Amino acid sequence: MSQPVQLYNLQQIDTKLDKTRARLKEIEIALNEDTVIRNAQQEATTVEGNYQTAQKELKRAEDEVQSQQQKIKNNQKTLYGGSVKNPKELEDLQNEAEALKRYLSVLEDRQLEYMIAFEEAEAAHKASQTNLAEVEEQVAQQNIDLTDEQKELLEFIPKLESKREQAVAGIESEEMATYTQLREARHGIAVTEVKDKTCNACGAALSASQAQAARSPSKITRCESCGRILYVK
């Protein structure tokens, strides 16, 4: 097998290895990432606090209404019970009754406001709990899928490394050194195809002589622009 073909095949293997290892890093980060769940939990906690506050405020408003209603009952019992005969006292009781009823109206309006606020808080609470459950389920399934993919990729790497060893064994040391240097300098791509008389890596146009030289089965031709090894299928 010619050196250009061997180097190209090695490049294909290394590219697969690079992509596989990069994907494994992405998976590791994703598996350790819990921002989505933490955000959902934080939201649920905040909404839970608002819900409990609204519940307490409504209960207090209901108690105040009940207390005021009891005051009115006591007032009416005294007013119409016959125990009070003095006209001035009766007038005072009547005035008190009117004041108590006016304040009851205020308390009932307040109770209605708290009831509406509670219903909104209750709806938000249910929604946040549903959202949290859905997020936890989605993340759990995602982690299962990622773990399965991780396992497959970890099993794939040794196979690629074995192929790489075989490919390297057939390449001369000088050309291997050039290849390694180019890989380090050119973001992992040392060998690139020629497409439409251009370097597929940097896009530089090749002269007719360059394009022809790149077809040689034994001679290594490099792009004059980026220095990568050129290969024609």
**Fold that domain 34-159 belongs to in CATH:** Helix Hairpins (1.10.287)
Token pair listed for 123? 């709806």
- Reply yes or no on whether the pLDDT at 138 is more than 70: yes
Q: Domain boundaries in the chain?
A: 1-20+172-233, 34-159
- Reply yes or no on whether the pLDDT at 1 is more than 80: no
Q: According to the model, what pLDDT value does residue 217 have?
A: 87
Q: According to the model, what pLDDT value does residue 105 have?
A: 98
Mean pLDDT of 145-163: 98
Q: According to the model, what pLDDT value does residue 2 have?
A: 66
Strands (E), 78-215: 191-195, 198-199
Helices and strands of the chain, counted as H and E runs: 5, 3
**Residue among 220, 136, 137 at smallest CA distance from 172:** 220
Mean pLDDT of 183-210: 96
Q: How far apart are the first and last CA of the chain?
A: 14
How far is it, in rounded angstroms, from Cα 198 to Cα 203? 6
Mean pLDDT of 157-181: 96
195 SS3 class:
strand
Sign of torsion over alpha carbons 214, 220, 226, 232: positive
Exposure string over 206-225, b if 16+ CB within 10 A, otherwise e? beeebbebbeeeeebbbbee
Tens of pLDDT, residues 100-118: 999 999 999 999 999 999 9
- Reply yes or no on whether the pLDDT at 173 is more than 70: yes
How far is it, in rounded angstroms, from Cα 149 to Cα 25? 12
